[in-house]
Amino acid sequence: MAASLVESGEDAFRKVFKFYKRRNPPPDFSNVLDFSKGEGSNKVVPLKLDPATVSDAEAARVGLRPVRDWTAFELRGYPGFIFIPDPFVLGSQAFWVRQCLKTYPRKPNVCNLDMHMSPSDTQDIWDRSVPDLRLPSSGKRRPDTLLERLRWVTLGYHYNWDTKTYCADRRTPFPADLHQLSRHVTAACGFPGFDAEAGILNYYRPDSSLGIHVDESELDHSRPLLSFSFGQSAIFLLGGLCRRDPPTAMYMHSGDLMLMSGQSRLLHHAVPRILPAPRGHASSGMESSSRVSSPGDGSVVETPSQEDWEACVGYIRSSRVNVTVRQVLAPGQTFPGASSSHRGTDVGRTGGNHDEDGECGKRKRSRDSET
């Protein structure tokens, strides 16, 4: 990338965002870190995880490989940021993809389509989309299915996009399977006792993006923010506490997981671009022939039916799903009357394609007076 783009300065983040979002001419991707290739850059530092934190059986139940077999990395200059390229057992991503597409969008969870459709119309997003999703891809473009119009789903404490808050009275049960997965992943990263209380699923079409933002609506920032990606790849930009700080670009491929904790918990970040998954990522690693059978008693992960899986493939061959899992409250903490917080423009509220005019230090502005 041109040096001028990475210099710190007035909204350097926005410049980099636009650089990677650009279609014509396509940007140079050579500076994008690819953790799946290991230590390709001196910014990437291997991280040793303690394999005793999660037993092999616990990991297997949620579709994860034994922790000792994971690779984990930190990023120089971003303490608390952890990147784990695809720690899933071959084939088990299929289950999580099916959950994200079929199960989590169901009531009582909340989604963008609820804002302008009747409850009866958003009742069976999956069933109404399956027939078209299962059609073999012909070069011709078919109308988007309802599922392909899904932009976000919220779980647990449902995020209020207008007030940018969570509150006690907008809460439904957090999915037990995703809670368990999140608990094991965070434990492996050194955060035992993580309580998944809120989830935001973002659904990306090839032209979607997610604007520059900080996730600070959670009341307890000592707990990490966890992110899982499935399907097509993305460029993720990780910036600083301020929008003036130029971000680092990295690929997120299917199955990759990241954790923002400690000093990295409140950093600006964004997704300027969705990219086709490289060979060996996304659905190719999840094909029915390589899917796992039930790894044993108490397993959370099960093999999706052939019909479900065909519909999932029809969706993820062009789309990406990202799941962020958040602990909102510290143990014993309760909601005050209201909270001031900010979250940037979201892919869901605008149907994607959006980079917002955020300002440097929004978080500071709402809490401190220095900006």
Residues 269-298 that bind ligand OGA (CB under 6 A): 269, 271
Distances (CA, A) of 124 to 5, 109, 119, 204: 45, 12, 9, 20
Q: Judged by CB under 6 A, does residue 236 bind ligand OGA?
A: yes
String of contacts with ligand OGA for each residue 157-196, x by CB under 6 A: ----------------------------------------
- Residue 322 binds which entry of ligand OGA, Mn ion, none, CB below 5-8 Å type-dependent: ligand OGA
Taking CB under 5 A as the rule, does residue 58 contact Mn ion?
no
Q: Which of 64, 113, 198, 210 binds ligand OGA (CB under 6 A)?
A: 210
108 cis-preceded (ω within 30 degrees of 0): yes
- Total residues in contact with ligand OGA, by rule CB under 6 A: 13
Q: Which amino acid is present at 311? A: A
Shortest separation between residue 269's beta carbon and Mn ion, angstroms: 6
Binding residues among 198-217 for Mn ion as defined by CB under 5 A: 215
Contacting range for ligand OGA; rule: CB under 6 A; set: 15-23, 226-234, 281-289, 290-298? 226-234
Q: Which of 15, 22, 35 shows the shortest CA–CA distance to 251? A: 35
Which of 165, 186, 202, 261 lies at the binding interface for ligand OGA (CB under 6 A)? 202
Binding site partner of 319, from Mn ion, ligand OGA, none, Cβ cut-off 5-8 A by kind: none
Taking every pair of Cα atoms in the chain, the longest distance, rounded to a whole number of angstroms, is 58
Over its C-alpha atoms, the chain yields an Rg (Å, rounded) of 20
Could you tell me which residues come within 8 angstroms of residue 277 by beta carbon, excluding any fewer than 6 positions away? Answer: 231, 232, 233, 253, 254, 283, 284
Contacts 24+ apart (CB under 8 A), 161-165: 161/343, 161/346, 161/348, 161/349, 163/338, 164/217, 164/341, 164/342, 164/343, 165/217, 165/338, 165/339, 165/341
Distance, CA of 210 to CA of 269 (rounded, Å): 9
Query: Residue 186 or residue 324: which is nearer to ligand OGA going by CB?
Result: 324
Tokens of 348: 């869901």
Q: Pick from Mn ion, ligand OGA, none: which does 130 bind, CB < 5 to 8 A by kind?
A: none
Q: Give 58 or 346: the residue with its C-beta nearer to Mn ion.
A: 346
Residue 227 lies near ligand OGA (rule: CB under 6 A):
yes
Query: Taking CB within 5 to 8 Å according to partner kind, which of ligand OGA, Mn ion, none is near residue 210?
Result: ligand OGA
- Residue span binding ligand OGA (CB under 6 A) among the ranges 34-42, 85-93, 166-174, 229-237: 229-237
Q: Using the rule CB under 6 A, is 217 a contact of ligand OGA?
A: no
Find where tokens 């899917």 sit. 291
- Report how far residue 191's alpha carbon sits from residue 188's, in angstroms, rounded to the nearest whole number: 7
The reply to whether 346 sits near Mn ion by the rule CB under 5 A is no
Nearest alpha-carbon partner for 271 in 246, 249, 256, 240: 249
Angle at 369 between CA 367 and CA 371, to 5 degrees: 105
Give contact residues for ligand OGA (rule: CB under 6 A).
200, 202, 210, 215, 227, 229, 234, 236, 252, 269, 271, 322, 324
